[in-house]
Copies of this chain bind each other. A is one copy, B any other.
Amino acid sequence: MAVQIERTRFFAPELRGFIVRALVASGVSPEDAALAGDVLVASDIRGIESHGLARLELFYVDRILDGTIDPRAVAVTLREGPGLLSVDAKNGMGHPVSVRTMRRVIEKARSNGSAAATVTHSNHFGIAGYYAMLALEHDMIGIASTNSGGLAAPTFGKSMLLGTNPLAYAIPAEDGDSFVLDMATTTVAYGKLEIAKRLGKPLKPGWAIDADGNQTLDPAAGMRGALLPLGGFGTESGGHKGYGLGLLVDILCGVLGGGAFGPDLTRHGGLLDPSITSHFFAAIRIDAFRDPAEFRRDVSRLLAQMRGSAAGAGGERVYTAGEPEAIRTAEHLLDGIGLDPVVVASLQRVAEKLGIDPPQPV
């Protein structure tokens, strides 16, 4: 029997306004709060419930109030060249510094063709895809990534040495359509194990190992073990590829930026230590290669070839990366976003703690 959850619907601008009020009341500047609000509400708008409002209390407000994150941090540029940028976030929130850095990367790519940047000593920045997508309206390809705390084991290992280390790529198509790949380099996020445990369901092969490094379908055993990289256990189904991608992300973010990496990205109580997260951003100008209108037309043609191709067993149709999120965006902007009761209660607590009005439902 499916668990029926009574969701409460809110319009996106209402939720965004609440995030901004909460962050400002926590001590964040209005400018930074506005940027963080854009990123966090975008996550729920796109249907990625795990990375938006659900994290406001525990990942941001509580950590600002207890002094873990510096709400007034001013990021410092460490190195700058025509095509690159190295930024120290000085333990501020991850979102504002990431938006500003990606904007600078886009400006640099405009004069340079391509550009890349690292941000170190940052904190959780939400969905990587948001920053990659900032490139879309500039007719550029956007790339964004972040390292994160140890949850996944390397192939044939059993220690949690790698985060879910997402990779995001955004590529513009015609008429506002796009290709947006925003993927953890593990098979699944940790939350999938928690959900399976709560529902009493077995895990799927390729998700997790137990504490001895054996593949397991038992959620509790997986939670005492580690996540598997994309491709699953061992090398037979390509687990070494997902592991390689995860390590690549850690190198591009943590090592290239000169920040923390590997097992130094420790966790306490499920949360990363402050100030040890690093990000990587890049942009490539399309018109340096070919006419952007022709490029977008061809991307749309390729996407249509996929979407229009015959469905195989088990599927209604073929989607392209970012298409389900674009469909949910259209629905959510029109009808509002349904939040889980657990999230609604968390927003209530935030409002009480900070003495602000809670968000008003639809």
A residues engaging B (CB < 8 A)? Answer: 79, 81-84, 86, 109, 112-116, 118, 141, 153-159, 161, 169, 171, 179, 181, 183, 187-188, 204-207, 209, 212-214, 230-234, 236-238, 240-245, 247-248, 250-252, 254-258, 261-263, 282, 284-286, 288-290, 294-295, 298-299, 301-302, 305-306, 309-321
Do B113 and A289 have beta carbons less than 8 Å apart?
no
Determine the residue in chain B with the shortest Cβ distance to A234: B314
> Which residue in chain B gives the minimum CB-CB distance to A157?
B318
Distance to closest chain B CB from A314 (angstroms): 6
CA distance A212 to B245 in the complex (A): 31
Inter-chain contact A247/B83, CB cutoff 8 Å: no
Q: How far is the CA of A238 from the CA of B295 in the complex (A)?
A: 28
Q: Known: A158-B312, A209-B312. Contact between A248 and B179, CB under 8 A?
A: yes
User: With contacts A232-B206, A314-B233 known, is A154 near B309, CB below 8 A?
Assistant: yes
The chain B residue sitting closest to A245, CB to CB, is B181
Bound Cα distance from A320 to B118, whole angstroms: 23
Give the Cβ gap from A120 to chain B, nearest Cβ, in Å.
10
Q: How far is the CA of A298 from the CA of B316 in the complex (A)?
A: 47
Decide yes or no: A230 and B233 within 8 Å by CB, A113-B116, A298-B255, A312-B212 being known contacts: no
Min Cβ gap A42→B in Å is: 19
Contact A258 B299 (CB under 8 A): no
One of B205, B213, B318 near A311 (C-beta < 8 A): B213
Query: B214 near A312 (CB under 8 angstroms)?
Result: yes
Given A113-B82, A113-B115: A153 in contact with B255 (beta carbons within 8 A):
no
Among residues of B, the one whose C-beta sits closest to the C-beta of A209 is B312
The answer to whether A156 touches B317 (Cβ under 8 A) is: yes
Asked if B118 and A289 make an inter-chain contact with CB atoms under 8 angstroms apart, the answer reads yes
With a CB–CB cut-off of 8 A, which chain B residues contact A288? 79, 81, 83-84, 86
Please name all residues of chain B whose beta carbon is closer than 8 Å to the beta carbon of A86 when the two chains form the complex: 288-290
A158: B residues at CB distance < 8 A: 309-313
Query: Is A263 within 8 A of B319, CB to CB?
Result: no
List 9 interface pairs A-B (beta carbons < 8 Å), by A numbering.
A79-B289, A86-B290, A141-B252, A154-B320, A158-B311, A206-B237, A213-B311, A214-B313, A256-B286
- A89 nearest CB across to chain B (Å): 15
For A247, list chain B residues within 8 Å (CB). Answer: 179, 181, 302, 306, 320-321
